Amino acid sequence: MRYSEKLCRLGLATRGFAFGRRVAVVSVLGVCFLASRLSAQVNIERPDQRTAQCATGSCHPGIVGDKVVHRPVLERSCMECHKYVDAATHVFTLTTPKEQLCQTCHELDLDQHVHTPVVEADCMGCHDPHGSDHPMILTGDPGGGLCMNCHADDYSHNEFVHGPVAAGACIVCHTAHSSSFAGLLRGRPDSLCLQCHTEMEVPNDPTIHQHRPFTEGCVTCHDPHASDSRYQLHTGAPELCFECHGGIGELINESIIAHGPAVAEGGCSDCHNPHFSRQPKLQRDPQPELCLDCHDEVIETADGRQIRDIALVLAEHENHHGPIRQGECTVCHQPHASDHFRLLQQDYPQAFYAEFEMEQYRLCFSCHQADLVKERSAQGLTGFRDGDVNLHWLHVNQEKGRTCRACHEVHASSQPFHIRDSVPFGESGWELKINFEQTETGGSCSPGCHKAKTYDRKKRRSAFEEE
């Protein structure tokens, strides 16, 4: 770095340090021509008397050679800003103190929040007083790193950097002088982001559900400059989500089984739109379509068991369980975590046989009447009866009571009443056929667990005898 340039950067107040034939001309106020301006003329003899023209072929020719030139320079009106201190030694000072000079021509209508260089009247921290290759005679590219001269953190140590920051284009979001908004932002944070991220514009629809942080401003979840998390989130999901949804985090930590997306990195947004949605709970799609985005293939659980391809089950069987028809998978399944197998909301017997305890059937009887298994007489209670004998009661209330899954499919069936075609029996996986046939007043079945039996609602058949 040239010595003259060092002096200028340090702002030393001196009249002239001579070394050899080179003279660094510095005003008594510490303002000088930029050293880069003088580099081509350091061996030129300085005038020893007043001159009317500074930018000539022999003196300061480079001053007027920039792409963007300050008006006084363009008009060769150097004396609007400079005045002689001593013509014989060719020393100048400013016509007005440095902190007031620019304001003699440039009046800024300042807002509530003001940039520090403006407060300190350090206009030349950003603007060249003579000329520049950049708009507004800036000393550097406003879209390519000028601000980093003071704001040294370029966020290169972060994994994810906001596009304007990576390009050094701070002026995309910030004003240079003052603003009505903190951080010298060009507008309200939420509306400012939408100028680029137009896909986040909320449709004018009263049925739209909006995420509360989204209405409060994008920076609630996103860092506007850089982050080590995808999408410049302050921290990764689901941890970020748990900062507000602490109850979900506790449920996941305290439950035996957690839903895969609820604990996967970024998994919350697999099911929920983090900004807005037409679906309740900000779901991305209605149920069961949302659930079938993943459950359209056989899934192996951590303990080695398999979850069926539910999409295939629903496609191949036309009689869907009521919650599925109504688009409410979460009536039976907890979407985040549960202490019950298959993430069920409440108890449901896993086995084919189970001694009857009402507590085991809490899930089913959150919708169905409990009297279906508690009352012996079924008149007016169910169509599954032989005369007035409640056949649900008969099947359940035995030493080896049959559970709901012994006869009914929980998702979909090709039979009425969600009767199964077959049911897996035992560890061997043998498919026990039920062979149910419906009649006008009853039906029959001939499964492997007993001989063929028929029931009739109008007249009790002797085949059903209480044991």
Beta strand spans in 142-234 (E):
160-161, 178-179, 209-210, 226-227
Cβ 129 vs Cβ 136: under 8 Å: no
* Virtual torsion, Cα 275, 278, 282, 283, nearest 10 deg: -120
Residue 321 is predicted with a pLDDT of 95
Residue 66 Ramachandran class (φ > 0 left, ψ -120 to 50 alpha, else beta): beta
Cα→Cα distances 310→27, 64, 296, 450, Å: 83, 76, 6, 30
Alpha-carbon gap, residue 16 to 4, rounded angstroms:
10
User: How many whole angstroms separate alpha carbon 310 and alpha carbon 394?
Assistant: 31
Model pLDDT, residue 448: 79
- The domain ranges of the chain are 3-100, 101-194, 198-343, 358-456
Who's near 56: CB < 8 A, 6+ residues apart?
none
Burial class (CB in 10 A: 0-12, 13-18, 19+), 325: exposed
Tell me the C-alpha distance between 105 and 148, whole Å: 28
Question: Is 421 within 8 Å of 413 (Cβ atoms)?
Answer: yes
Per-residue pLDDT of the chain (467 residues; tens, 9 = 90+): 333 333 333 333 332 322 222 223 333 233 333 444 444 444 567 788 888 788 887 788 888 889 999 999 989 899 999 999 998 888 999 999 988 999 999 988 999 999 999 999 999 999 999 999 999 999 998 887 789 888 888 888 999 999 999 888 899 999 999 999 999 999 988 789 999 999 999 999 999 999 999 988 899 999 999 999 999 999 999 999 999 999 999 999 999 999 999 999 999 999 999 999 999 999 999 999 999 999 999 999 888 888 999 999 999 999 999 999 999 999 999 999 999 999 999 999 888 888 888 888 899 999 999 998 999 988 888 999 999 899 999 999 887 888 898 899 999 999 999 999 988 887 777 888 899 999 999 999 988 788 888 999 988 765 555 44
Question: Which residue in this structure is represented by tokens 């050679």?
Answer: 65
Q: Looking at residue 391, what is its pLDDT?
A: 92
Place of tokens 């896909």: 199
> What's the pLDDT at 41?
44
